[in-house]
Each structure stands twice: as structure tokens, then as C-alpha cells.
Amino acid sequence: MHQLKAALTRFVEQQDLYNEAYGLFKNHDLRPREQHRQPDVDERIPLSPELQYLYSHYEMMDEQAQGTLKMKNAAVEIGDAALISFVAPEHLHRQQLGYRWIGMNEPYEESASWHKNHVVIANYNDDPLIVDTATPNSPVYAAFSGGEPNRIADSLSDFFTALSILIETARNYAGEVKDEETYETKSEYLERVEPVLNDLLGEEHTAHLFEYLSFR
């Protein structure tokens, strides 16, 4: 768990530096808990050791969700290019609706095509970010536009390290990584992050991550 601890520490550092300088949201982030605690997760949701660590040591802050029926989530900004929403553990069951469970009301029907060990922990543009809780190190997958999930990181720690790299580099561009005229990701930004991510994730996983985030 040492690698995940280091990756999350680095991620929070970069997230906070970015939010302080360019962030669009207040009290809407991923933050270390003051005291570690067992996460409040529906018993039907399988947690890997890595997810257990994440949810027991970190919380998803969402000031606007207080006292509402809105799903509490942390907003992670990658410059002006992407906003990933990480759902709080107490809402993980609702996050699985439409994926593992289908239907309009309880009791929901279990999808025959969904792997029970796959847990949707976040989304970007309503596309799911998935952790395989049955495989060592908790690999991360992403599904794009209703397609089959593609692996984007061999471990949860690699995924959060990748986010740190993307956020730190976006901060170097003052958060402006999209071309104002074409709305495409700036080539100079991609040229800086792609070699680093290739070394970390591998070229295939990096390509899937870029596709998921609509970088290309």
C-alpha cells in the first residue's frame, strides 16, 4: 500500500496547488480524513484493499451536496480540458445503476454482461471510470461513449500518479490546455505529458486514457 499512499499524497498536493491558483470550485475536492474510518459502503459493493485504503483515508468534499439528494462527489480538474467526478463511498451503490444494476426502481435487475468485481468510482462526461476489485493492485478501466471498458492503468496508484502528472502540467499552462478556437487539446501540452505517461502506463493505456478524456 506504500505506492498508493505516495501516489495519493502527490495527487492531493497537485490538486490543491491547482485549485488554489486556478480552481473553479470551493470545498469540492478529494481531501485526507482527519481520522481514518471505515467507509460507509453498501455491502453489495466489493472493495479491493486499494479502494478500502482510499475511502478510509480520504473523503470526497462536496459542500453543495449537503442536505440534498445529490450524490456527493469530488471534482478533479485537469485544467480546462477535463473534470472527473469521484463519487463518495456512501453513494457507490447509486453510481452502479445503469452499469451493474439496471431498471427504474428497486429491486434492480443485475446486468448479465457486467463484471460484479467492476466498481464505477467516478465519471467524466457520464462515461464511467472503473476499478477491477478482484485483481491485485486494482487496475483501472474507462469506458468511452458506451463502448467496452479499456484498461488505462495497471494499478490505482498508477492512475492517481497519472492524474498528478496531468494536473501539474496543466498548472504550468495556467490551466489553459485547450485551444480557444478549435477546442482541441494543445499539442504542446500533449507533447509534454505523453512521453511521461507512456513510461508510467504504457503506450496502449495512455492512448486509452487520452481517448477517455477526449484529449484526442
Kind and range of the H or E run holding 109:
strand 109-110
Rounded CA separation 204/72 (Å): 32
Beta bridge partners of 63: none
For the segment 184-214, what is each residue's pLDDT rounded down to a tens digit? 999 999 999 999 999 999 999 999 999 999 9
For the segment 84-135, what is each residue's pLDDT rounded down to a tens digit? 999 999 999 999 998 998 877 778 888 888 999 999 999 999 999 999 999 9
- The CATH architecture of the domain made up of 2-212 is 3-Layer(aba) Sandwich (3.40)
Residue 92 near residue 44, CB atoms below 8 Å: no
Residue the block writes with cell 447509486: 94
Global confidence as pTM: 0.95
Residue 10 near residue 59, CB atoms below 8 Å: no
pLDDT of amino acid 64: 79
Question: What integer best gives the mean pLDDT of the chain?
Answer: 94
Report the candidate in 82, 86, 103, 78 with the shortest Cα–Cα distance to residue 19: 78
